[in-house]
Amino acid sequence: MSKLEEGQAILKALGLPDKQQTTLAAHILLALGDVLPGTPWKEAKSRDIGIHAMIQFISDHYGKRYAENSRESFRKNVLRPLEQARIVDKNRDDPSRATNSMHNKYCLSEAA
């Protein structure tokens, strides 16, 4: 099973609906956890990362290129539902940061 498939299986095991078990969601999960193709999931990290850095991570390590203008899809279709499911925290350094700030960062929650 590939890391991408494992990511999708983890999202399913966490009880997320099918709409949050997509390839994009699994790629984001990999980026959030800094999980490289050879990294075991138990070594996943909770690091703060912005959407641009996620796009770069996915391209560099998994060969999938997402356009910079897909950031709203990252935010709306994946990150917001993951926040609502308490799998992702947004701006743990400054929760009051504006939604449209270029400094927004996301990380895996303690529960995740």
Tens-of-pLDDT digits for all 112 residues of the chain? 899 999 999 999 999 999 899 999 999 999 999 999 999 999 999 899 999 999 999 999 999 999 888 888 888 899 999 999 999 999 998 988 987 788 999 999 988 7
What's the pLDDT score for residue 1?
83
Q: Return the pLDDT at 47.
A: 93
Sign of CA dihedral 95, 100, 101, 107: positive
- Which strand (E) or helix (H) includes residue 84? helix 80-84
**Domain housing 51:** 3-108
- Number of domains the chain is built from: 1
Structure tokens of 74?
């990252």
Please give the structure tokens belonging to residue 94: 């400054």
Residue (of 15, 31, 111, 12) closest to 79 by Cα position: 31
pTM (predicted TM-score): 0.92
Q: Any idea what the CATH number is for the domain that residue 103 is in?
A: 1.10.10.1820
C-alpha 75/C-alpha 70 separation (Å) is 9
